[in-house]
Amino acid sequence: MSRYIVEITYCTQCRWLLRAAWLAQELLTTFEQDLYSVALRPGTGGIFEVRLNDELIFSRKEAGRFPEAKEIKQLVRDKVDPDRHLGHSDKTTTEN
Amino acid sequence: MSRYIVEITYCTQCRWLLRAAWLAQELLTTFEQDLYSVALRPGTGGIFEVRLNDELIFSRKEAGRFPEAKEIKQLVRDKVDPDRHLGHSDKTTTEN
């Protein structure tokens, strides 16, 4: 059984549930066999944070922007299955 | 902080992620203040199960069908905030 849990905390006041749910589905599609679960967690105050097994891997406040799905996939891949190639999600933004 | 966690386990082979994600968003919209998180968990073999704090509250195998969002909302409400009225989600199916 997979031991990796992703948690996406989103600001309910900002109505970021749809964005968080989109990202959850992107991760669950790419890492179907690798993740135990992806949790959506309501928050407040402009929060949009992604955690992998309680480790913060993306914070909107720190980055000053929202994450792209591909960069979260790369960060998760680096922990979960470092040798895997993610196809077009491994290209940099300027290559697309 | 809310102490209620919902977990939705869905069959990846059956491609029920979209259905599970829909239900997660329904619950997070209705119980924004009441739930710590709603987790989407990949499974196999036709599984579609909903747990509230590890207690199984709906099983597709047991029920012989998928749940309606309103009945899951009623089951969650009964545990989380029994006195709350859910509006049209409290009507029975035949009333709608």
pLDDT of A92 > 90? The answer is no
pLDDT interval class at A91 (50, 70, 90): confident
Predicted pLDDT of residue B96? 45
Predicted pLDDT of residue A96? 45
- Coarse DSSP helix, strand, coil percentages of chain A, rounded to the nearest 5 percent: 40, 30, 35
Identify the helix (H) or strand (E) that includes residue A79: helix A69-80
Predicted pLDDT of residue A73? 97
pLDDT interval class at B89 (50, 70, 90): confident
Chains A & B: contacts with CB separation below 8 Å: 51
Q: CA A5 to CA B28: how far, in whole Å?
A: 19
Of B95 and B84, the structure prediction assigns the larger pLDDT to B84
Strand, helix or coil for residue A2: coil
Predicted pLDDT of residue B91? 73
CA B37 to chain A, closest CA, distance in angstroms equals 4
Predicted pLDDT of residue B2? 83
Q: CA A84 to CA B20: how far, in whole Å?
A: 27
Residues of B in contact with A21 (CB under 8 A): 21, 24-25
pLDDT interval class at B93 (50, 70, 90): low
Predicted pLDDT of residue B41? 98
pLDDT tens for each residue of B47-84: 999 999 999 999 999 999 999 999 999 999 999 999 99
pLDDT tens for each residue of A59-71: 999 999 999 999 9
| List of residues 6+ apart from B56 with CB closer than 8 A | B49, B50
Whether the CB of A95 is below 8 Å from some CB of chain B: the reply is no
| List of residues 6+ apart from B5 with CB closer than 8 A | A39, B35, B36, B37, B38, B39, B52, B53
Nearest to B34 by CA among A41, A54, A37: A41
Predicted pLDDT of residue A94? 56
The CATH code for residues B4-86 is 3.40.30.10
Residues 21-40 of B with CB under 8 A from A: 21, 24-25, 28-29, 32-33, 35-40
pLDDT of A93 > 70? The answer is no
> Which amino acid, one-letter code, is at B51?
R
Predicted pLDDT of residue A31? 96
- Chain-centre distance for alpha carbon B2: 17
Q: In what order do the strands lie in the sheet with B35-43?
A: A55-59, A48-52, A4-11, A35-43, B35-43, B4-11, B48-52, B55-59
CA B42 to chain A, closest CA, distance in angstroms equals 6
